[in-house]
Amino acid sequence: MAPRKNLRYTHSRMLIFGAAITAATLTAPPAGFLRVFARPLPRPFLRRAWTRDLVPLLAALVALLFLPASAQASRLKLPAGVVVQVKEGMRLLFNGDPEATIAIAKKVQAELPEHPIGYLLEVNALWWKIYCESLSLKYNLIDAWDRKKLTVDIAYFNLAGRAIRLAEAANKTQESAEMHVYAGFAYGLEARLHGLRGENLSVARTGVKGRDHFVRALQLDPDMGDAYTGIGLYNYFADALSTFAKVLRFFMGIPGGSKKEGVAQLEKAMATAELSAPEARFYLARNLRNFDQKYERAAQLLEPLAAQFPQNPLFPLLLGDMNAKLNRREKAAAAFRAAQAIHSRDAACAARIAEITRAALAAIR
């Protein structure tokens, strides 16, 4: 493995955030709930079969009231049909089908052309295509480390920029935590590609702008789950920078962060974010592997994603890499073969997966 400082230097320019879209959290029971249900039932209701019928009914009501917000009703201020489309688009994306997500995103854009959600959904799908196509083995780690500038990047930045403009314009009319989250993630998606292209100053500029939106979102709504994905990644990365980069950050006036706080925020996002919980889990696992060499914890975080989204080769690929670091050769080989067996509909992504898994399997024999 190359010295850790080399890895830190490469990632010092990648001050970037999570990905996806809006938020929801656990809700507290309605006021007076316990008082109402603690009252004794009228006597007629306690007779004969009434008791048998009423107890399971009350149990069902209690269960419904304590369900997470994401399971009860969406916090997204969108038409119900659009919420369903966006959620399905995100499910397809995590399950390894970004093209299907892009098709849904374009439908949402046609239905809501002045809303940022459709453009965010599309640019997020484009990011995952870029991430897979850019995978390589460096520093003894499988990840997307760098990529040259391409003309197709113009469309990517145009989509992110449009989402930013629409969200910020909406906030000027009526400020909301939701629109700040949209803007924050759009800046984060810009920062991701800037980082992959080695554009350090652009990463810092867009990163700080995104952070400001996440901070404001949480000021307006402390329960905005997806805001914790963005601010958690910022705080983690800001603290993971090399000493030299931290000095530069200080003189440039870039806000600092805390790994411990970032991990806690990402864990909160995993439990409460309506749409970006899988990305919070993925990036927390990736960061713990890359920066802290916590391979065991990283593998534990990634395993549920591989099980939940069996058509996404990225999850078993990185899980195999983590198991290889733990010298679990059989488990690593099984994960690499699982990634090989998944048919990716993106030809460029499929080619990268095939090449990397061949090299990874050869390395652990």
pLDDT > 90? residue 173: yes
Confidence of residue 250 (pLDDT cuts 50, 70, 90): low
Angle between helices 177-196 and 225-240 (to 10 degrees): 40
The Cα–Cα gap between 130 and 124 comes to 10
Cα–Cα nearest to 236, from 268, 259, 218, 205 = 259
Higher-scoring residue by pLDDT: 5, 34: 5
Per the prediction, the chain carries an average pLDDT of 82
pLDDT at 3 over 70: no
Q: Which residues of 137-160 are buried (b: 16+ CB within 10 A; e: fewer)?
A: eebebbbbbebeeeeebeebeebb
Q: 179 or 53: whose pLDDT is higher? A: 179
C-alpha–C-alpha distance, residues 125 and 84, integer Å = 17
pTM as predicted: 0.79
Under 8 Å between Cβ of 212 and 167: no
What's residue 200's pLDDT?
A: 87
Please, where are the H alpha helices in 40-152?
48-65, 69-72, 80-94, 98-111, 117-133
* Averaged pLDDT for residues 72-97: 87
pLDDT of 215 strictly over 90: yes
Where are any strands of DSSP class E within the chain? 135-138, 141-144
Contact, 76 vs 83, CB < 8 A? yes
Most distant CA pair in the chain: distance in Å? 77
d(CA 273, CA 266): 10
d(CA 7, CA 240): 11
The whole-number pLDDT of residue 218 equals 97
Those residues with Cβ within 8 angstroms of residue 300's Cβ, 6 or more apart along the chain or in another chain: none
> Which contacts qualify for 197-202: CB closer than 8 Å, 24 or more apart?
197/146, 197/147, 197/148, 197/149, 197/153, 198/13, 198/146, 199/13, 200/13
What's the confidence (pLDDT) of residue 242?
A: 63
Q: What share of the chain is helix, strand, coil (3-state, %, to 5)?
A: 70, 5, 25
Q: What is the mean pLDDT of residues 180-194?
A: 97
Structure-model confidence comparison of residues 73 and 320, the more confident one: 320
